[in-house]
Amino acid sequence: MEVNVYNIKGEDTGRKVTLNESIFGVEPNDHAIYLDVKQFMANNRQGTHKSKERSEISGSTRKIGRQKGGGGARRGDLNSPVLVGGGRVFGPRPRDYSFKLNKKVKVLARKSALSYKLKENAIMVVEDFNFDSPKTKCFLTVIKNLNISDKKLLMILPDANKNVYLSARNIKSANIQMISGLNTYRVLDAGAIVFFESAVPVINNILSK
């Protein structure tokens, strides 16, 4: 399938690029998308949560009441979970939430997400550009010319571009990604996806293997 290439003024250049049908035209697999997004979010969890249990509470271990005949639970010392200020029973402990996901499933998830976005007409291609120096104002002008200033933007570059990245860094609704960092979550989260023209053959090469 072919899409038009636009310049930074929002004008059609008259050129077209071909999006690989095996990437942007697959039947989306919702379960693969779910697994990939779940892994992405799980890997971002710190897992540093911790509450003190009975043995970790600072306090006397003296038995505060007799074993039987008190009319209540056998609470033991002041660190008992049944008392205010005592330890917590089965509280959270530090853990690693990350899990393994097969590469083929991750590739299928990215293809499915891109196919969904193409069906929504949320993908466009712009010819490669750069700025002489980082300027947020220049980047805002570009996305305004492309009529996507009111959408959450994901711009995909073939490789690092410091000036473009720094120009977009202060814009809350804009996210700049290299092909190597492209993931399913970012694709689904974006309202508009803009590919640099030179990034299209790269992603066709990577995801069509």
Per-residue pLDDT at 209 = 66
Per the structure, the complete domain to which residue 157 belongs is given by: 2-41+100-207
Question: Is there a single domain that holds both residue 66 and residue 137?
Answer: no
Confidence of residue 38 (pLDDT cuts 50, 70, 90): very high
Question: Is there a single domain that holds both residue 79 and residue 106?
Answer: no
Torsion angle of the four alpha carbons 133, 137, 143, 144, in this order, in degrees rounded to the nearest 10: -150
Per-residue pLDDT at 70 = 84
Question: Is there a single domain that holds both residue 37 and residue 118?
Answer: yes
Question: Is there a single domain that holds both residue 110 and residue 72?
Answer: no
Question: Is there a single domain that holds both residue 116 and residue 195?
Answer: yes
pLDDT, the chain, mean: 92
pLDDT of 43 strictly over 90 = yes
Residue pair 208/22 in contact by the 8 Å Cβ criterion:
yes
Question: Is there a single domain that holds both residue 29 and residue 124?
Answer: yes
Contacts of 97 by beta carbon, 8 Å cutoff, 6+ apart: 42, 43, 45, 47
Domain total of the chain: 2
Question: Is there a single domain that holds both residue 9 and residue 50?
Answer: no
Q: What is the CATH number of the domain that holds 198?
A: 3.40.1370.10
Confidence of residue 50 (pLDDT cuts 50, 70, 90): very high
**Residue ending a domain, choose from 57, 81, 96:** 96
Question: Is there a single domain that holds both residue 163 and residue 112?
Answer: yes
